Amino acid sequence: MPSPDGMISRKTVLKAAAMLGAAPLLVGGGVALAREQAGTGRPPGFTPECHDGDDPTIEQTEGPYFKPDSPLRSSLVDDGPGTRLTVSGYVFGRACRPIPGVLLDFWQADDNGAYDNGGYTFRGHQFTDANGVFKLDTIVPGLYPGRTRHLHVKLQAPSRPVITTQLYFPGEPRNSTDTIYDARLLMNVRQNGPAREGSFDFVLDVPQTPGTPSPTPTATPTGTPSTPPSGSWKAGTPYNAGDRVTYSGASYACLQAHTALVGWEPPNVPALWKRS
Ligand SMILES: [Fe+2]
């Protein structure tokens, strides 16, 4: 619905584009939305605005089951039981423009409500694509005592802090009794045959100036390290694409700006570091 002041909201634009078939939301290159016109000198009116309730996505406890060093993968599906679930959406900044290269690290319970604390079943991280889109293939997490049904996720935009939150399913009886549950984190979920399709758009507190291009993560080395050979890799250090570090005696080049975390040591995250 258009906003009361007549501006077209981000959600309206997305919905309209989807209805026109112009936005195969998960297929790169097809999202002919207003944000792509940013900076093109086109008249205003299609610039998505954050006045439809799009405050930054709220943060929630990570709980006791997070493990660093999850594998890089967008599918967590294995041979075990469970109802197939896809979760997809955008990650936006404060000006409602999508952010490429955002790290999303998902973890969840299996069909029986158990977390794999010894391995990495139902744990994996991925990055938003050039259109700021993510897609997770998984199963509907099982229930465990004390909680309603939920997914856990950590997000980090390039060179920004990590935020931790959870996603919820509509219509769950336990939503009304779970003290952590928050309706602002409800996904839209629809049934598609035997599977479920969830969607959720995250909004991160990343400054964006309307009318200028989105912050572009550098997916490939620039070749111009901002700080030439920067010594040993160290958690907590903000690295830029092209930075070079050593780790366990090997040399690595940073592929994408990020703040290093324990578990993201260069050999563990080929999306962030390339051996050189
Ligand atoms: Fe949990």
Please answer whether residues 99 and 206 qualify as being in contact, where contact means their C-beta atoms are separated by less than 8 angstroms: yes
Name the band, by pLDDT with cuts 50, 70 and 90, for residue 263: low
Interval between CA 192 and ligand 1 midpoint (Å): 25
Q: Could you state, in order of their start, the residue ranges of all structural domains in the chain?
A: 52-203, 218-276
More confident residue, 55 or 142: 142
> Rg (Cα) of the chain, in Å, rounded?
19
Interval between CA 111 and ligand 1 midpoint (Å): 13
Name the band, by pLDDT with cuts 50, 70 and 90, for residue 74: very high
Per mean pLDDT, which range of 28-37, 133-142, 250-259 is the poorest?
A: 28-37
DSSP letters for 76-137:
---SS---EEEEEEEEE-TTS-B-TT-EEEEE---TTS---SSS-TTEEEEE--TTSEEEEE
Interval between CA 141 and ligand 1 midpoint (Å): 9
Interval between CA 109 and ligand 1 midpoint (Å): 7
pTM: 0.63
Give Cα 123 distance to the centre of its chain: 14
Name the pairing type of β-strands 84-92 and 103-107. Answer: unpaired
Single out the residue of 262, 215, 216, 220 nearest to residue 237, CA to CA: 262
Most confident of 6-10, 15-19, 29-33, 127-131: 127-131
Provide the residue type at 13 as one letter: V
Give Cα 33 distance to the centre of its chain: 19
Note residues around ion ligand 1 (Cβ under 5 angstroms). Answer: 63
218-276 placed in CATH 2.30.290.10 = no
Name the band, by pLDDT with cuts 50, 70 and 90, for residue 238: confident
Name the band, by pLDDT with cuts 50, 70 and 90, for residue 113: very high
Interval between CA 245 and ligand 1 midpoint (Å): 35
With 90 as the cut, is the pLDDT of residue 172 above it? yes
Say whether 218-276 and 52-203 share the same fold: no
Interval between CA 61 and ligand 1 midpoint (Å): 9
Interval between CA 28 and ligand 1 midpoint (Å): 31
Interval between CA 35 and ligand 1 midpoint (Å): 35
According to the model, what pLDDT value does residue 12 have? 43
Name the pairing type of β-strands 84-92 and 195-199. Answer: parallel
Per mean pLDDT, which range of 13-22, 108-117, 198-207, 262-271 is the poorest?
A: 13-22
Name the band, by pLDDT with cuts 50, 70 and 90, for residue 262: low
pLDDT in tens, 114-166: 999 999 999 999 999 999 999 999 999 999 999 999 999 999 999 999 999 99
CATH topology of domain 52-203: Protocatechuate 3,4-Dioxygenase, subunit A (2.60.130)
